[in-house]
């Protein structure tokens, strides 16, 4: 299933979400301009290497990606879920929330694999936090999803709580599996599953700290219940 959009329009312009996407795009364009050797050196310098931990790279690693699919997938998810979460939190709170979830994800993966010398890069942990917040704030929303059926494709609406719940379960199960199969010092399959899990959990647990108090009114999307 490939998510395309949700069914809840944002009431405000998602300034921070757009800026984050632009910054990620600029960083990816710069990475893409480097040759293989320079690109690896750049990722090692600014990616998070658990065995050589640096607080600076906790932040910089969130804006680097390992390829077009990695970058494109992350930005798609950020665009789908970020605008509504930013709407409920406000711009400044949303930025702080995003960075906090990204840091929690990075620290969790470091704790799981402290000896790894492989640079950890990507916005996935922070975006997982945004998805966790969406899971709590918009449980009755639906996600318009592209469903490939052999040679055909179909658009379907999937309940957000189901889509995000399945996503989280898959990350958790893959994370458990990686503990049994990972080579010491390297993440299994190159995917930091525990960063995804930790980011999502951080989002669920802290969303109400960052959410703005809502005015006493009924949201139109309550009719989706």
- pLDDT, residue 204, reads 98
CB within 8 Å of 63: residues ≥ 6 apart? 23, 24, 27, 123
Rounded Cα gap, residues 2 and 85, in angstroms? 20
pLDDT higher than 50, residue 83: yes
pLDDT higher than 90, residue 148: no
- Structure tokens, 100: 């906090």
Rounded Cα gap, residues 121 and 123, in angstroms? 7
CA 170 from centroid of its chain's CA atoms:
14
Mean pLDDT of the chain: 90
Give 91-145 pLDDT, tens digit per residue.
999 999 999 999 999 999 999 989 888 999 999 999 999 999 999 999 999 999 9
Residue among 73, 71, 77 nearest 30 (CA): 71
- pLDDT, residue 150, reads 78
Give 22-79 pLDDT, tens digit per residue.
999 999 999 999 999 999 999 999 999 999 999 999 999 999 999 999 999 999 999 9
Q: How confident is the model at residue 151 (pLDDT cuts 50, 70, 90)?
A: confident
- Structure tokens, 55: 């607080």
Query: Which helix or strand (DSSP H or E) is residue 172 part of?
Result: helix 160-181
**Of residues 184 and 2, more confidently modeled:** 2
Backbone angles phi, psi at 210, to 5 degrees: -95, -15
- Structure tokens, 13: 């312009």
Rounded Cα gap, residues 220 and 25, in angstroms? 34
- Structure tokens, 86: 């930013």
Give 170-202 pLDDT, tens digit per residue.
999 999 988 877 655 444 457 889 999 999 999
Complete domains list, the chain, with CATH: 2-224 (1.20.1540.10)
């Amino acid at each position: 299933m490939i998510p395309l959009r949700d069914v809840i329009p944002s009431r405000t312009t998602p300034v921070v979400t757009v800026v984050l996407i632009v910054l990620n795009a600029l960083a990816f364009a710069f990475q893409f301009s480097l040759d293989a050797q320079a690109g690896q050196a750049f990722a090692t310098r600014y990616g998070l290497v658990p065995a050589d931990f640096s607080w600076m790279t906790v932040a910089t690693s969130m804006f680097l990606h390992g390829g077009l699919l990695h970058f494109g997938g992350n930005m798609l998810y950020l665009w789908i879920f970020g605008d509504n979460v930013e709407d409920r939190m406000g711009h400044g709170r949303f930025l702080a929330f995003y960075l906090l979830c990204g840091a929690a994800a990075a620290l969790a993966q470091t704790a799981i694999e402290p000896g790894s010398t492989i640079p950890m890069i990507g916005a996935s942990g922070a975006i997982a936090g945004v998805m966790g917040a969406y899971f709590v704030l918009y449980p009755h929303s639906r996600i318009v999803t592209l469903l490939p059926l052999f040679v055909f494709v179909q658009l379907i609406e999937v309940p957000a709580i189901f889509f995000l719940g399945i996503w989280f379960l898959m990350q958790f199960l893959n994370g458990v599996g990686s503990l049994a199969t990972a080579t010491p010092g390297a993440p299994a399959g190159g995917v930091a599953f525990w960063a995804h899990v930790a980011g999502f959990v951080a989002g669920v647990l802290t969303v109400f700290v960052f959410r703005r108090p809502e005015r006493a009114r009924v949201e139109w999307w309550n009719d989706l219940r």
